[in-house]
């Protein structure tokens, strides 16, 4: 049902969709959540394939990620998931069960505890190997004013991609 792929095999498809939204899923013990992400990078650092996701302190996802130190990224390529991405990008898992609300199905990760979202085609399983808090004094002034006037900065999570696969 899923075929293993090289981490960068679908990079241009992934980046095209990321700007519109993908699902970042996290799980720690009995807490499971997903949120829409629109920013991130795919790259190669420390001789490892890396997905870097940026998550603000205010997110419920942040609380879980701080415990689990792993995440999955599920990317819809053909299916129209605008509605689900809009809900998962505006509602918090603190208040609702987004999986129930959006009828999203989870499938157990291959190498990590965090599941993927079945309705999407492209998936990455990632283990956090580095994280970085933003240094307010080092951000470009324009970017800071446009994005961080409330001081709700992003944490950058560098996840080693331990599995990448696509629906056949
Ligand atoms: C298209 C889109 C892209 C988004 N990208 C990000 C992102 O990259 N990082 C982030 O922290 N929040 C991002 N958000 C906002 C979160 O998805 C949103 O605040 C969500 O409700 C957080 O859910 P949570 O509290 O359950 O973690 C995005 C929202 C949308 C609609």
pLDDT tens-digit series, residues 140-162: 999 999 999 999 999 999 999 99
Predicted pLDDT of residue 129: 98
* Substitution candidate for ligand 1 out of 33, 34, 35 with most atoms within 8 A of CB: 35
pLDDT per residue as tens digits for the range 107-140: 999 999 999 999 999 999 999 999 999 999 999 9
Predicted pLDDT of residue 31: 98
**Over pLDDT 70: what percentage of the chain?**
100
Q: How much is the average pLDDT of 19-38?
A: 98
Predicted pLDDT of residue 7: 98
Counting from 1 in the atom list of ligand 1, the atom nearest the Cα of 98 is 26
d(CA 162, CA 33): 20
**Over pLDDT 90: what percentage of the chain?**
99
pTM for the full predicted model: 0.98
Instruction: Determine which residue's CA is closest to atom 5 belonging to ligand 1.
Output: 37
d(CA 65, CA 157): 9
Instruction: Determine which residue's CA is closest to atom 7 belonging to ligand 1.
Output: 37
Determine if ligand 1 sits within 6 Å of the CB of residue 114.
no
Residue-level length of the chain: 168
Counting from 1 in the atom list of ligand 1, the atom nearest the Cα of 34 is 26
Nearest to 36 by CA among 75, 7, 77: 75
d(CA 168, CA 161): 20
């Amino acid at each position: 049902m899923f075929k293993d792929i090289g981490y960068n095999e679908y990079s241009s498809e992934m980046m095209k969709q990321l700007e519109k939204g993908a699902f970042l899923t996290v799980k720690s013990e009995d807490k499971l959540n997903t949120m829409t992400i629109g920013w991130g990078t795919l790259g190669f650092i420390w001789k490892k394939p890396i997905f870097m996701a940026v998550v603000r302190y205010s997110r419920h996802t942040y609380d879980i990620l701080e415990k689990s130190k792993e995440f999955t990224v599920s990317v819809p390529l053909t299916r129209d998931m605008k509605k689900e991405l809009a809900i998962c990008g505006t509602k918090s898992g603190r208040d609702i069960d987004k999986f129930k609300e959006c009828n999203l199905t989870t499938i157990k990760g291959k190498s990590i505890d965090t599941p993927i979202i079945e309705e999407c085609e492209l998936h990455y399983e990632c283990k956090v190997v580095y994280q970085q808090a933003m240094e307010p004094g080092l951000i470009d002034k324009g970017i800071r004013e446009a994005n961080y006037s409330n001081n709700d900065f992003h944490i950058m999570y560098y996840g080693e991609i331990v599995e990448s696969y696509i629906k056949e």
